[in-house]
């Protein structure tokens, strides 16, 4: 019998519609009978699908977010007097410590390898990055001792925390959310590939657009980008490339619109560059493409090889090599039956293994440990 708790999720960075925080965790916990609140900046106070949205002021800049917004999150959290507090941003670590001092059960949800992420931050002077990364890693480990539980999104993060209170909760897709019934065979689909999610330089967008210019002129092919390209100067840089003529930039899409896009595509692209935080990552979009029955074209990282190439779910390429990417795109388009078979294998793997249902059970089991 699951005990019903008052649970508060907290973020100072993510939007109220964040797929992991709201779409998976908060909605699922509310459906399981818990009283769920989500503290998030700049949102109207209301209840959505059983989740009470609690607003704090939107930050004016990064410095304001780390100070004023963080303090506002703490005050709001304390006023809610919950049984469990679950936060999702490293800058809220002090909030977690303060709440633990008040005798609260606190869970830290670790989405990324924080220290490695700092090594690639362009706004930190490069010679200082290793020092900052080391200091942050030490603080994160120290702070974790105050929390009742740690949730991590991938295997590589387990080594950073006490295994006795750390649980791996993958960011796998919700079954059926992005699968379009009757999408039709690949042979009858338009010649497009999909890139879904944040579109940045570090995620290989320039090399991908450069690859488009290498495709034969008589190949009627488009890349559809569903996500925001940032910063604006990078968008202008991409628009000046010859390959941009094959791009359809859709901007941010709602989840049903993403499903519609994936239902007519031939493949999904996840050619992240080999930044420190990418090498052992397990990108959500990779599994989302698989859930929609699409083969993937992914970076040839050793960590991804057992999943993508060995299991036959797609193709691996050097993400820094536009010609290799172009060759993979050409192969997918010229071999629709083989590509469709790859996609079906990946989709079946999501149905049987890589889905949110099993991950939710692990999160609820963690909560059940707390008195």
Q: What pLDDT, in 10s, does the model give residues 344-355? A: 999 999 999 999
Q: Cβ distance 221 to 333 under 8 Å?
A: yes
- The CATH code that applies to domain 6-172+355-369 is 3.40.50.2000
Q: Among candidates 96, 99, 75, which has minimal Cα distance to 142?
A: 96
> Chain-wide mean pLDDT for the chain?
94
pLDDT score for 119: 85
pLDDT digits (tens, 9 = 90+) for 213-256: 999 999 999 999 999 999 999 999 999 999 999 999 999 999 99
Q: Are 337 and 187 in contact (CB under 8 A)?
A: yes
- Ranges of residues in the chain with a pLDDT under 50 are none
Are the C-beta atoms of 52 and 36 separated by less than 8 Å? yes
The number of beta carbons lying within 10 Å of the beta carbon of residue 24 is 22
For position 182, what pLDDT does the model report?
57
Please tell me the distance from the alpha carbon of residue 341 to that of residue 270, in angstroms, as a whole number: 19
> CB-side exposure of 7: number of CA atoms within 13 Å?
29
Give me the residue spans of the domains in the chain. Answer: 6-172+355-369, 186-352
Is the domain 186-352 a CATH 3.40.50.2000 member? yes
**Same CATH fold assignment for domains 6-172+355-369 and 186-352:** yes
CB–CB of 286/320 below 8 Å? no
- Residue 243 CB neighbour total at 10 angstroms: 20
């Amino acid at each position: 019998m699951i005990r019903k708790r008052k649970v508060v999720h907290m973020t100072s960075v993510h939007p109220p519609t964040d797929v992991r925080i709201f779409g998976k965790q908060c909605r699922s916990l509310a459906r399981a009978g818990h009283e769920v609140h989500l503290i998030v900046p700049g949102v109207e106070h209301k209840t959505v699908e059983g989740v009470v949205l609690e607003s704090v002021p939107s930050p004016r800049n990064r410095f304001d977010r780390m100070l004023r917004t963080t303090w506002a999150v703490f005050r709001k959290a304390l006023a809610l007097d919950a049984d469990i507090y679950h936060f999702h941003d490293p800058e809220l670590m002090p909030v977690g410590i303060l709440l633990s001092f008040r005798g609260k059960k606190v869970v830290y949800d670790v989405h990324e390898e924080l220290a490695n992420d700092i090594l690639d931050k362009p706004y930190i002077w490069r010679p200082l990055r290793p020092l900052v990364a080391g200091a942050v890693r030490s603080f994160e480990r120290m702070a974790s001792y105050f929390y009742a539980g740690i949730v991590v999104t991938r295997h590589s993060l387990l080594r950073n925390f006490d295994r006795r209170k750390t649980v791996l909760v993958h960011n796998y897709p919700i079954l059926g959310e992005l699968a379009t019934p009757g999408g039709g065979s690949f042979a009858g689909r338009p010649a497009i590939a999909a890139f879904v999610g944040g579109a940045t330089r570090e995620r290989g967008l320039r090399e991908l657009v450069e690859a488009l210019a290498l495709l034969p002129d008589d190949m009627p092919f488009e890349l559809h980008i569903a996500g925001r390209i940032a910063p604006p100067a990078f968008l202008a840089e991409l628009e000046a490339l010859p390959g941009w003529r094959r791009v359809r930039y859709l901007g941010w899409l709602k989840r049903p619109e993403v499903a519609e896009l994936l239902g007519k595509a031939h493949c999904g692209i996840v050619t992240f560059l080999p930044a420190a935080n990418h090498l052992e990552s397990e990108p959500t979009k990779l599994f989302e493409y698989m859930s929609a029955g699409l083969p993937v074209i992914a970076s040839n990282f050793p960590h991804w090889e057992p999943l993508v190439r060995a299991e036959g779910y797609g193709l691996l390429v050097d993400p820094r090599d536009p010609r290799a990417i172009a060759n993979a795109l050409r192969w997918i388009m010229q071999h629709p039956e083989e590509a469709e078979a790859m996609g079906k294998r990946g989709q079946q793997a999501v149905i049987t293994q890589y889905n949110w249902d099993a991950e939710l059970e692990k999160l609820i089991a963690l909560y059940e440990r707390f008195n």
